[in-house]
Each structure stands twice: as structure tokens, then as C-alpha cells.
Amino acid sequence: MNSYSVMIVDDSPFTVAIIRDILERHGHQVVGVAETLDEVNEVVRATMPDLVTMDITLPGTDGLECTRAIHQFNPMITVIAISSMKDDDIVSEAIRHNISAYIQKPLDEDEFIDTINKAMSTDDLFEVVDAEYFGVIKEAFQKGIHSMTKTNPAFKEEFECDETILSEGVTSVINIIGKYPGRMLFSLSKATAAGLAVSILKREPREGEINNLLMELTNIVSGHAVSRLNATINKRNRSYNLRLSPPSIFVGQDMQVFPPGFKTQSALIETVFGDIILNAGFKKGE
């Protein structure tokens, strides 16, 4: 059984005692209690909890504002709302605020623990992401190329890849950060990159425009793909959202791209501009 560090946000000493008793009976550790926005900010920074139980009605603030403050500090912290009030409007507001689950008081011990386990245990969620991601990225790539160039890329070969990749000349890399961190890259020749640029710009590219355009394509493909994957992830735990760091472009013949230490998949894509290697993978995380 996993043990989590938990912060309780509630202004009722009675409810705090009930929540604490249940959590401790199941091996979890209550690391802090807060009932105002200032206390939430202070306690979350001091205790770095895995999980927060959040009352919705609080003095001078509410559970939504407090959740925003927690996620501004660390978006990976899971928040579960526990409140006497529950209706469709408040539940959809809670979802919009990345609250992972909503439980109505009085608290049922089994339901509470099941909810925690479902939100926090993610081994099977990784399996889902792992099974889906490459198809999602390929589709995003296909749509991205089509909408930008009105041409259709063809996926010729696909293979699992744990070897060093030799760059075709230009490599665009974007890192993915979140519960399941990962990486996506495209590798193509300079001529292919130039052909793409001419097709999209409808003129000869000026200095720096080819790289800027590749960054934009990388942002579009990875942004669409990660949004689709987040739709799956959000059904289980909205704090596990994937995020993207800015892309970088590497230009150089025979550059070696070493394997990232986790399994990746590659596809050889034929476009009218030349071949493009797509490579991506995700790590199970901590």
C-alpha cells in the first residue's frame, strides 16, 4: 500500500479530525492543516504534500481559489475536494480548476480511500498513455503537415528505437514535462527543411526562417498531441497534465542523438519534400 503525505484544508476541527483519522488508519501521513488562503500558501510550501483534501467553503476564500494557489506553486499536487455542497455547477468548476475528484460529506471511509487510490495510483494510466501516444503524435503530425502544406505525409516504417539516432542534418527537439516526462523529435535533411519552408511561406525563406518554421511545426504537432493525451490523463487525475518546454533546433551533419534512457518509437515519414524521422517516447516517472 502506498503512503502519501497529505495536507488538509478545512475550517472545521471536527472534519479535520475525521479526515486525519481515516488517512492515518490507512497509512497516510497528515503533514499540515490550513483553513485560509494565507495558511494554504504557507503550509503547502513548508510541507510539499503529495495530496491535498480541499473544503470548498472556507473563511475569506474558497476551495477553488486555494487550489489555484496550490497549483501555481506546484501543478503536480493532487487536490481532492471534500464538501457538503455538490451540484453539477460546482463539480464542473472544480474540474475546470484541476481538482482531481469531488467527494460529498458526510465522508464515507471506503469511498474516500478508493478515490485517493484511483487518483494517485497511475501504473495502469501510464500503460494507456504508452499505448496511445505514438498514434496521437503521428495523427498530429499528419494534420500539422497537411494544414501547413496541403500535402499528405506517408508513414513508411515504424520501429521501437533504443539506439543512437544519426541526425539527417536538422533535428528539432521538444521536451515533455509532467507525471510522465518524455521527448519528441523530428530529424530531416537541410533540403527537406528548406522545401517545407518554401511550401509554407510560398517564397524563398529568409535567414532564420527555416528554423523558426520548424519550431512552429514542432510546437503545433506536440501541442496538439499533448492536448489529446491530457484529455485521457484528465479523466484520472488533472494534476498529471503534460506540459511542453520550448523546442530547440540542432543543425549539423552526422550529429548523434543518444537514446534518452527510456523506450522510444520511431517512424520514417515520406513527404513530398523528403523523408522525415519522427521519434518520441515517455518515461514512467517516479
Partner 1 sequence: MDVNLINPFILAFNHVMKQVGFSEIKSGAMSAKSKDITSSGVILMVGFVGQLQGNIVYVIDAESAKKIASTMMMGMPVNELDSMACSSLSELSNMLSAHAATHLSAMGYVVDISPPGLFQGENITMTMSSNKVLCILFYADGIPIELNITIS
Residues at the site binding partner 1, with contacts judged by CB under 8 A: 72-76, 167, 171, 173-178, 181-183, 208, 211, 215, 243-262, 283
Min dist. Cβ of residue 243 to partner 1 (A) = 5
Return the number of the residue (19 or 217) whose C-beta is nearest partner 1. Answer: 217
Q: Which is nearer to partner 1, 40 or 90 (CB)?
A: 40
Closest distance of CB 73 from partner 1, Å: 6
Cell numbers for 136, please give them: 496521437
Rounded least distance, CB 117 to partner 1, Å: 24
Tell me whether residue 273 is exposed, middle or buried, using C-beta atoms within 10 angstroms of its C-beta: 0 to 12, 13 to 18, 19 or more. Answer: buried
Question: How many whole angstroms separate alpha carbon 84 and alpha carbon 126?
Answer: 33
| Amino acid occupying residue 173 | V
User: What single letter denotes the amino acid at residue 70?
Assistant: I
**Residues 257, 266: Cα–Cα separation, whole Å:** 13
Minimum distance from CB of 182 to partner 1 (Å)? 8
Of 137 and 257, which has the nearer Cβ to partner 1?
A: 257
Smallest gap, in angstroms, from Cβ of residue 169 to partner 1? 11
DSSP-based three-state secondary structure for 186:
strand
Residues paired with residue 52 on neighbouring β-strands, in sequence order: 7, 79
Question: 283 and 171 in contact (C-beta within 8 Å)?
Answer: no
The answer to whether the CB of 205 falls within 8 A of the CB of 213 is yes
Closest CA to 222 of 268, 275, 272, 172: 172
Residue 140 CB, nearest approach to partner 1 (Å): 19
Please state, in angstroms and rounded to a whole number, the distance separating the CA atoms of residues 150 and 140: 14
The CA angle 270-274-280, to the nearest 5 degrees, is 60
Smallest distance from partner 1 to CB 245, Å: 3
CA angle in degrees (0–180, nearest 5) for 170-176-180: 140
Q: At 174, which amino acid appears?
A: I
**Considering beta carbons, is residue 83 or 279 the nearer one to partner 1?**
279
Q: Whose Cβ is closer to partner 1: residue 15's or residue 172's?
A: 172
Q: Are 66 and 88 in contact (CB under 8 A)?
A: no
